[in-house]
Amino acid sequence: MENLEKVQKFSQAVSKIKEELKKDVVGQQEIIDNVIIAIVAGGNVLLEGVPGVGKTRLVRSLGKALSLPFSRIQFTPDLMPSDVTGTNIVEKDENGKLNTVFRKGPIFANLVLADEINRATPKTQSAMLEVMQEHKVTVANETYKLEEPFFVLATENPIEQDGTYPLPEAQMDRFMFKLLMKFPKVEELASIVNMTQITMDETAEAVVDGATILEMRELASTVPVIEDVLNYAMHLVANTHPEIENTSDTAKKYIKYGASPRAAQALITCAKVRALLNGNYNVSYEDIDALATPVLRHRIKVNYNAVNDKLTIDDVIALLVKENKKLSK
């Protein structure tokens, strides 16, 4: 069966990617899994973590393992949109004639690391919007399509609040996941130190290519989802809205505004990938529950009740999931 081979290839590819990433990234297994899920699902990831936890290293290593052209954009307040997308420049050709030539920006890669994206101005941030959503760039009325697979991994540094521009909700919604990279454990720290004493460079090798990723993406889209699970996921997203009739008690109490329909799309798409990643051929409730936090974390805003009750966004999402499980029974 052709698909069976593809499934086997999928499993092998994922295993290989993980193996390679392990060489450069210590721990952070959940982050790695979710990043792989996002890539295969065709989504972008927002990574938040303190400096030095390995965000950039992860993306670099990933780029090597996927043998995909990789670029890094360090966002600063003075970064212009054209610095990201590219711009038309005037060039003299060999005949001395002046021509306008489009110089591609760093966004023209398969894998883009948008470092400290929240340091860029809203204007520059909005330039990323079209790119991340539509995988194309429009400059001077010319549209340039980005090569697939295209993946943006943006980072945020939570502790540097000065001189940052919070990402608008519209842009936040373009990220499939928001992942929190935590400070490594002591034993992991020791491994990091030992590893980087040898070399600071990423040692991951190319194990898959872009075509494979696209095949994996296509395969994952065929994973079946039963109606009950689909409804479960839809209720989870709908119950993040306090204004909806018969919504969850958690939403009524702790949420200011809820997630967009993109959250529902992201949940299902990523759940399919996760299922295949774990050797299953169908989406389960467990997949939905496991992806609820990374999918909803950046899409819902809590109100002062949550702050007052000292509940983080993750805590609120956990309550939402718990309530959704009860309602589904």
Partner 1 sequence: MSGTFFKIKRKYLLNAVIISVAIALSVGLLAVGATMLGVKLAEVEFNPVLYLPIGLGSAIVVGAPLILFLIPTDKRLAKKLDENLALNEKVQTMIEFAGDDSSMAAIQRADTEKRLISVPFNTFNLKKWWAYVIAVVLSCAVFCTAFFIPGKEEAPVVPPTEEVFVPTDFQLKQLELLIDYVEEDADFVEVARQAVLAELEVLHEMVKSEEEYTKGEMDTAVLAAITDIHAAVDGVNSYKKIASTMLLSADENVLTIAKTLGSLSIFTVGDGFIKVGESYSDKTGQDLYDGLIVFASYFDIALTGNGVDSSDALLVALKEFPNQVRATAEIIKEDETEEVKQNRISNLFSSNENAVGRILDQISIQNDNRDERDIVVEELLDIFGLTEDDLPTAIKDKLEEENQAKYPEDKEDDKLGDGGMGSGETIYGSNDAVFDPETATHVKYGEIINQWYEEGRLNDGTVPEELKQLYLDYISYLDGNKDKFD
* Token couple for 306: 């949550």
Number of residues that bind partner 1 (CB under 8 A): 22
Nearer to partner 1, 97 or 329 (CB): 329
Q: What are phi and psi of 282, to 5 degrees?
A: -150, 155
Whether residue 63 contacts residue 111, with contact meaning beta carbons closer than 8 Å, is answered with: yes
**Omega before 77 within 30 of 0, i.e. cis:** no
- Residue 277 interacts with partner 1 (CB under 8 A)? no
* Token couple for 72: 């890094």
Q: Which amino acid is at 217?
A: R
Whether residue 181 contacts residue 28, with contact meaning beta carbons closer than 8 Å, is answered with: yes
- Binding test (CB under 8 A) with partner 1, winner from 71, 74, 282, 305: 282
> Which 228-267 positions form the footprint of partner 1 (CB under 8 A)?
228-229
Min separation Cβ 14 and partner 1, Å: 17
- Residue 176 interacts with partner 1 (CB under 8 A)? no
Min separation Cβ 281 and partner 1, Å: 4
Beta strand segments in 110-158, E: 111-115, 136-139, 142-145, 151-156
The DSSP element (H or E) to which 19 belongs, if any, is helix 2-24
Cα–Cα distance, 9 to 276 (Å, whole number): 11
Nearer to partner 1, 76 or 221 (CB): 221
- Binding test (CB under 8 A) with partner 1, winner from 283, 292, 306, 316: 283
- Residue 226 interacts with partner 1 (CB under 8 A)? yes
- Binding test (CB under 8 A) with partner 1, winner from 158, 224, 309, 328: 224
Min separation Cβ 287 and partner 1, Å: 8
- Binding test (CB under 8 A) with partner 1, winner from 138, 222, 312, 328: 222
